[in-house]
Amino acid sequence: MIKKHKNKIIVVGLLLLGVGLILFSTLKSKSPKSYDGEFSCEEYTKALEEKLEKFLLSVDGIHNVNVIITLDSSQEKLYSSDERSLSLIGKENTSASMEIYPYVRGVAIACTNGDNDYVKNKLTRLISAYLGIPTNRIEIVSYG
């Protein structure tokens, strides 16, 4: 019986293998993209704002929050003419050795209980630690 259907079994097996490879490749391509110079400054800012909003909503007493982040400048590219340094960082056939995200200049937050001194102090310290900016570049106001 197996000899009689041997070709059919091989064909079905190859088809299943092909479908499996296609599914695997689509799952792999849906993974979050890493930064390879693909994001604009606006996309970078928006991603930072969304991530910070999500984080702040997890803080006790914060139910509504709006975040605005301003950046110091646009992204920069560092160039190297040394091929050895390019191969060390995994970039081949390119002259750009790395791209640097712009620094955060300041953050404005509107949130529930933003007028409460305890909440304001707690959020200021959290945002300062999260973004690595001094507390004088963070302003928090009450939402509404």
User: What's the longest Cα–Cα distance across the chain?
Assistant: 82
Name the token pair of 143.
Answer: 């939402």
Among the listed residues 99, 98, 102, the one whose alpha carbon sits nearest the alpha carbon of residue 133? 102
Residue type at 136 in one-letter notation: N
pLDDT reported for residue 30: 37
Three-state DSSP class for residue 104 = strand
* Size (the chain), residues: 144
pLDDT reported for residue 14: 65
Name the token pair of 107.
Answer: 């953050």
pTM of the model: 0.58
- The per-residue DSSP string of 71-98 comes to ESS--EEEE---HHHHHHTT--S-SEEE
pLDDT reported for residue 60: 86
For the chain, what are the domain ranges? Answer: 1-31, 41-142
Which stretches of the chain drop beneath a pLDDT of 70? 1-5, 11-39, 74-99
CB 128 within 8 A of CB 134: yes
pLDDT reported for residue 121: 94
pLDDT reported for residue 49: 94
In CATH terms, the superfamily for domain 41-142 is ANL, C-terminal domain (3.30.300.30)
pLDDT reported for residue 35: 43
Tens digit of each residue's pLDDT (9 = 90 or more) over 73-88: 765 565 565 555 545 5
pLDDT reported for residue 90: 52
